[in-house]
A and B are shown apart, each in its own frame.
Chain A
Amino acid sequence: MDTILDTILDKHRNARRDALIPILQEVQEAKGFLSRESVAAIGEILNLPTSKIYGVATFYNQFRFSPLGAQHVQICRGTACHVKGSAAVLDALERELDIEAGQTTRDGQFSLEVVACIGACGLAPVISVNGEFHAGVLPEDVNNIINSYRVDEEVQADAK
């Protein structure tokens, strides 16, 4: 039994279809992503086919179907950020983490996501790591920013 999921779904026993997106948001918030089991369980509660739920979930940017990295890096690709050079920052991030946007590093430490606009256009280009903003980022800053979040590999090795 999945108690986290059950607790959320219990709150929505008599919900209608308009509760679907809030439920998906809550489940993702609690579990990190939407698993097949979660989607099936939500379908059961709302009496909705899984294909419909998957259709809704894949329509919106917010939902994902695999877990995020321990450090979630978001890069804003809004117009202001673009004009201020966020494409180069994205390249630098992809190089630094050796993954493409939308992926998670193999060790599960970092995931990288492109977001449409964080709404902090005055500070462009902006990236956020686990919700912490970094303003006016230049490609050459990326290395330092990422390293400051990296769990020190040597420290880890020593601990072993």
Chain B
Amino acid sequence: MFTIQINNRNIQAKAGETILQVLKREGIKVPTLCHLEDLFPTGACRMCVVEVEGMDGLIPSCAFPVSKDMKILTHSPKALQARKTIIELLLANHPDDCLFCVRNGNCDLQSLSEEFGIRQRRYSGVKDNYNIDSSSPSIIRDPAKCILCGKCVRICEEIQGVSAIDFINRGSEATIGPAFNEGLNVSSCIYCGQCINVCPTGALREKSDIKRVLDALNDPDKLVVVQHAPAISVSIGEEFNIKPGKDVMGIMTSALRRIGFDRVFDTSFAADLTIMEEGSELVSRIKNGGKLPMMTSCSPGWIKFVEEFYPEMMDNLSTCKSPQQMMGAVVKSYYAERENLDPKKIFSVSLMPCTAKKFEAERPEMSNNNIPDINAVLTTRELARIIKMRGLDLNDMEPEGPDTPFGERSSAGKLFGVSGGVMEAALRSAHFLITGKEMDDPQITAIRGLDGIKEAHVKIGDLEIGVAAASGLANARNLMEQIKNGRDDIHFIEIMTCPGGCINGGGQPIGKDLDAIKSRMKGLYQIDRDASNRLSHHNEYVNRLYEEFFEAPNSHKAHELLHTHYHKRDVMK
């Protein structure tokens, strides 16, 4: 520890810290546009520059280490003028369509412009002609709004291990995009949407399905069914200034009804169903010498990743559809039959913390007799927009319960929202399926938390099963390479595309830091701790579904409706 001086106050700092880290700890805010927590600083945006005594020019605090007796001025006139000028430069040829922008009111560039009191266009620049890339089912790129902070490039490369996009060209002609400036649809993009979450402007956004959903709601011939993913109820509140991690499931249900959804179901029910199918599949693979390790198939970005980069391992993927698709399938089969509804007249909406789910719903495999399992997917952000559009506020509503039969869930199904949760739920049920007994303690701490790769060896009866859970596909890639290189002590692998799982999905509220992610995770663990039923195989309605419709897990009918297949994808890798 040594002393440095910040804005004429003495402050303790330690060697190896950057100036920015010290400033954050001391609660001194300097703006950043390119900074990404935990990744190596690139020093690109220059917004965080400060004055350091004895040094020429201004110093980027994100990339500069503190040293003893350093004297720093964070908001000197020179630093402020530089920051203001940088914003003015970015605004010089920015499309002036804030009012029409998806990030209106939630844009870093916009709020910095306000903070710096920019009231005139000091520099005017020639606008660039860029085409909007709307080729993908999930993500829209608008390069005209791009400020080239490079966060999307880094998250895609360093966190997701995909590198679908990179910087193209140089100097004032630099842009970001896939190879050969192609659309995302022919790139290796897995549609996870992590790039959207880090984008400071409206250059990246989800492809909106709001209009299609509203049209369906207004169509008297349609029965509009909605399901909400496990991670939504602990994050949607943030859009209404409710603190991250608070479970607002009841209020949300009430809001959904008021919007006009005819049935409100919980994807966690389908997660319980998934556990029955997937758990049985795992047990069968272990007992019958099937392909191991088995890998989970709930996360559509991950599926596309395997189809692109590891097609030789497609057989390791569980054949189970994701909970979203299972719910879609049972609504339009079992439920339609039971309620005597024409499946063609059911409009099935899913609320997902995810952009890749839009892609998943469009996969040709995800339909039955040419009727898609799911008709539209909305992200958490889109849901918030609809709620606000309808003049509703989650802060002043009474909670309501979900509809039967698919509103019932165990807390195991709810854990699908966090990395390691599918594994935990599966192990609880596999234990029962194999031994006929429940686990002593259903909580498996080794696979909880935000680590990129978590591993455990679990004893189930006489069997010792090696399990691993990875999130962030760069971590998944690491694990895949280990398996390819002959590692054989792992039997079951859970992969979630986004770091930390769906709580940090690409469809979640924008601009949240690590603390928010942690709170969402804690929220889900809290729900599990408090739940009366923590076991998927004890979900009454799941069991009834088998009795009345599927007969047994992995039955012929179950295979027809609840399982799928994969195919190799040739993309620009």
Show the binding face of A for B, using Cβ within 8 Å.
36, 39-40, 43, 49-55, 58-60, 65
Q: Is B28 an interface residue (CB 8 A)?
A: no
Q: Which listed segment binds A: B162-170, B377-385, B519-527?
A: B162-170
Q: Which residues of A contact B166 (CB under 8 A)?
A: 49, 51-52, 54-55
Q: A43-B573, A49-B188 are in contact. Are A54 and B180 (CB under 8 A)?
A: yes
Q: Which residues of B contact A51 (CB under 8 A)?
A: 163-166, 178-179, 187-188, 572
- B residues within 8 Å of A by Cβ? 157, 162-170, 178-180, 187-188, 572-573
Whether the Cβ atoms of B170 and A49 lie closer than 8 Å is no
- Please name all residues of chain B whose beta carbon is closer than 8 Å to the beta carbon of A60 when the two chains form the complex: 170
CB <8 Å contact, A39 and B179: yes
**How many Å lie between the Cα of A54 and that of B175 in the bound state?**
12
Partner of B170, one of A43, A52, A59: A59
Q: How far is the CA of A50 from the CA of B157 in the complex (A)?
A: 12
Most A CB within 10 A of own CB, among B164, B167, B179: B179
Name which residue of chain A comes closest to B167, CB basis.
Answer: A55
Q: Are B180 and A53 closer than 8 Å at their CB atoms? A: no
Contact A49 B180 (CB under 8 A): no
Tell me the bound Cα distance from A43 to B178 in angstroms. 14
Chain B residue nearest to A34 (CB atoms) is: B180
| A57 CB, nearest partner CB in chain B, Å | 9
Question: Known contacts A55-B168, A59-B169, A65-B180: does B572 contact A40 (CB below 8 Å)?
Answer: yes
| Chain A at the B interface: SS class | helix
Whether the Cβ atoms of A54 and B170 lie closer than 8 Å is: no
Give the shortest distance, in Å, between B208 (CB) and chain A (any CB).
26
- What residues of chain B lie closer than 8 Å to A55, measured between beta carbons? 166-168, 179
Beta-carbon contact of A49 and B163 below 8 Å? yes
Please state if B168 and A54 are interface contacts (CB–CB under 8 Å).
yes
Minimal Cβ-Cβ distance residue in A for B161: A49
A54 proximity list for chain B (CB < 8 A) = 166, 168, 179-180
Give the most central of A51, A58, A60: most B CB within 10 Å: A51
Using known A-B contacts A39-B179, A54-B179, determine if residue A49 contacts B168 with beta carbons closer than 8 Å.
Answer: no
Q: Is A50 within 8 A of B167, CB to CB?
A: no
Provide the residues of chain A in CB contact with B157, threshold 8 Å: 49, 52
- Could you tell me if B179 and A50 are in contact, using CB atoms closer than 8 angstroms? yes
What are 13 A-B pairs with beta-carbon distances under 8 A? A36-B572, A39-B180, A43-B573, A49-B163, A49-B188, A51-B179, A51-B187, A51-B188, A52-B157, A52-B166, A55-B168, A58-B170, A59-B169
**Further 17 A-B residue pairs, CB within 8 A, beyond A49-B179, A49-B188, A51-B188:** A36-B180, A39-B180, A40-B573, A50-B179, A50-B572, A51-B178, A51-B187, A52-B163, A54-B179, A55-B167, A55-B168, A55-B179, A58-B168, A58-B169, A59-B167, A59-B169, A60-B170
**Minimum Cβ distance to chain B for residue A123 (Å):** 28
A53→B180 CA distance, assembly (Å): 10
Among B165, B188, B572, find the residue whose CB has the most chain A CB atoms closer than 10 A: B572
Bound state CA distance, A40 and B178, in angstroms? 13
Chain A neighbourhood of B168, CB < 8 A: 54-55, 58
Give the chain B neighbours of A49 by CB distance below 8 A: 157, 162-164, 166, 179, 188, 573
Cβ distance A80 to chain B, nearest Cβ, rounded Å: 22
Q: Which residue of B lies closest to A50 (CB)?
A: B179
CA distance A153 to B166 in the complex (A): 45
Complexed CA–CA distance, A50 and B169 (Å): 14
Closest to A61 in B: B170
A36, A50, A60 — most chain B CB neighbours (10 Å): A50
**Chain A residues, CB < 8 A from B572:** 36, 40, 50-51
A134 to B139, CA, bound (A): 51
CB distance from A151 to the nearest CB of B (A): 32
**Shortest beta-carbon distance from A159 to chain B in Å:** 38
Tell me the complex Cα distance, A98–B442, Å: 77
In the bound complex, CA of A49 to CA of B162 (Å) = 8
Query: Is the CB–CB distance between B170 and A50 below 8 Å?
Result: no
B188: A residues at CB distance < 8 A: 49, 51
Docked Cα-Cα span, A104 to B169, in Å, equals: 20
Task: Tell me the complex Cα distance, A106–B487, Å.
Answer: 58
